[in-house]
Structure 1
Amino acid sequence: MASLKEVRSRITSVSSTQQITKAMKMVAAAKLRRAQDNILRMRPYAQRLSGILANLSSLTEGSVTNVYSQKREPNRVLIIAVTSDRGLAGAFNSNIIKAASTLATTKYRSQMDAGNVTFLTIGRKGFEAFSKRGYKVIGNYTGVFANLSFDSVRGAAEHAMDGFVKGEFDQVELVYNEFKNVATQIVRTEQLLPIEEQLVDDSRAATLVADYTFEPSKEEIIQELIPKSLKIQVYKAVLESNASEHGARMTAMDKATENAGELLKELKLTYNRTRQAAITKEILEIVGGAEALASK
């Protein structure tokens, strides 16, 4: 049985840990509110922009040459993995790392064996994990969450887009956590490039023509919107991941605080039992000594 000093030391240590986890939960909750507001404002804009772009692309009927829609044999693949810069968020980072690794070793198995799968990481945890596994990693974008903005994420999107245009990559996949609620984050895998075209029937096309007024032209508008839409798509994924990270950390720290409370109860019970046993032993020793003196 542990001594009273050891049990007191453990109680002090667990109490300090509980205070830290409780503080981290409160910080995560405060950051989550801001992050949740940001992604809720971004979602309608991103969806509307993607819808307009899809409608305009359908109306051009292939008359516009778009470098971001060129379909090639996926011999060289880029996987963009969005993780966080810090840990203590439960399975948040490990889920993304596992999903990206599984994507590379299943869907792109032959390309992986040939060394033609490259990872672009947003977040330090992903960079460290893929580097340790010996994967080919480029574009280590860490620190973007410290001052998250469109400009801080745009570089990663442009890196992938330029690589696709130059033929360095034939296909680009995006892996991130989508925010659903505080306790739930959904791992999403989306094809960023090439852009998948959406077809509409003639009746729908006639309706779309009536809905839009084009100035200067459909072609110029599409050429302007496509790069912006791709960057917005990456930015939206990072915002989703940011909100998911704070939700996951809040949940993890709440659970850690509860576990620390349960452990404290057990330690205090052990302390009381140990103290009672020590007192009983001392009493027995005193009674035994008194009886020995009385017998003389």
Structure 2
Amino acid sequence: MANLKDLRNRISSVGSTMQITSAMKMVSAAKLSKAQDAIAKMRPYADTLKELLQDLSASLDNEANSPFTVEREVKNVLIIAVSSNKGLAGAFNSNIVKQVKTLATGRFKNEKISLAVIGKKAYEVLDSKSYIIDYHNEELVNHIDYKEVASFTEKIMKDFEAETYDQVVLVYNHFKNAGTQIVLTEDFLPIKQDMLDAEAETNQIDYIFEQEKQTIVEELIPKALKMQLFKALRDSIASEHGARMTAMHKATDNAKELRDDLKLSYNKARQAAITNEILEIVAGAEALSD
């Protein structure tokens, strides 16, 4: 049976761990509340911008000429992978890495794959796997700012326009609720005209234009792309805090269960030690009486 001192040390250690995981859970819950509020406020704008672009594109009868709607033979693919800079969030980051590997060995197995990794954790794993990483940015996760996201998006748009990449896809965790994060893979570039037209067929609105429709569409497409990546980052951050809060909640429960088991073992060991001491005293008394 384990030594009483060792058991006391383990109980103390597990108790300290439980306090840490409990505190981390509360911190993540507070951050989640802010992140959830931010994504909830942003989604209506992003969805309305997408619907507006769809309606305008459909009204142009496939005449929208933009470098970002050009479909080429796919030879070079860029995968934008959004992760976090910190761990202890369950499978949050590993799911992103797993999806990137799935795309590389499945959908794009015959194409040249390059990566744009946002966040430290996915970068550490993917860099060690000898993937080609053209972009790596950790600050977008630490301090999410629309101007920084727009600047990052513009670099990718320029590379697509210069035909460095023929297709760009976006991989990130979509926030459903605190306990559920869904890994999404979205086509980022090119914007497929037939998709826009098909989605807009049942929801066309008769707008009054102050400029030519073509001009407005050309201005809206870059804005929509920047907003798509910005929304993905907001989604990912909310998902990260939700995943970490859930992971720390489970870790706290597991620590409590382990501590209770150790206390039970300690009490049994202590009771056994006391019993042995009593038996020794009784045996000694009987020996003296004889």
CA, structure 1 residues 18+203, in 2 after alignment: closer, same or farther (shift >3 Å)? closer
Q: Is the 8 A contact 2:83 2:118 kept in 1?
A: yes
Task: Specify the SS of the correspondent of 2:22.
Answer: helix
Amino acid at match of 1:199: D
Structure 1 residue aligned with 2:53: 53
Correspondence 1:127 to 2:127: no
Q: Is the 8 A contact 1:139 1:156 kept in 2?
A: no
Amino acid at match of 2:197: L
Structure 1 residue aligned with 2:275: 280
Among the aligned pairs, what percent are the same residue? Answer: 50
Amino acid at match of 1:189: T
Which piece of structure 1 moves more, 190-199 or 151-160? 151-160
Q: Cα distance, 1:104 vs. partner? A: 1.2
Amino acid at match of 1:160: I
Q: Cα distance, 1:147 vs. partner? A: 1.7
Structure 2 residue aligned with 1:223: 218
CA, structure 1 residues 204+84, in 2 after alignment: closer, same or farther (shift >3 Å)? closer
Partner Cα distance (1:203, 1:99) in 2: 32
Q: Cα distance, 1:86 vs. partner? A: 0.5
Structure 2 residue aligned with 1:3: 3
Amino acid at match of 1:157: T
Q: Cα distance, 1:146 vs. partner? A: 2.2
Correspondence 1:178 to 2:174: yes
Q: Structure 1-normalised TM-score?
A: 0.93
Structure 2 residue aligned with 1:261: 256
Partner Cα distance (2:155, 2:88) in 1: 29
Please list, as runs of the form range in 1=range in 2, the aligned pairs for 1:17-36 lying within 5 A after superposition.
Answer: 17-36=17-36
Which piece of structure 1 moves more, 59-68 or 224-233? 59-68
Partner Cα distance (2:96, 2:117) in 1: 11
Q: Cα distance, 1:64 vs. partner? A: 3.5
Q: Is the 8 A contact 2:81 2:115 kept in 1?
A: yes
Correspondence 1:148 to 2:144: yes
Task: Specify the SS of the correspondent of 1:109.
Answer: coil
Q: Is the 8 A contact 1:11 1:267 kept in 2?
A: yes
| Structure 2 unpaired stretches of 5+ | none
Structure 1 residue aligned with 2:265: 270
Deviations 1:221-264 (A, max 9, x none): 11111111100000001111111111111111111111111111
Amino acid at match of 1:108: F
Aligned residues: 288
Amino acid at match of 1:55: D
Deviations 1:152-186 (A, max 9, x none): 32233222211101111000000111111111111
CA, structure 1 residues 78+26, in 2 after alignment: closer, same or farther (shift >3 Å)? same
Partner Cα distance (2:186, 2:81) in 1: 11
Q: Is the 8 A contact 2:58 2:201 kept in 1?
A: no
Q: Is the 8 A contact 2:55 2:200 kept in 1?
A: no
| Structure 1 unpaired stretches of 5+ | none
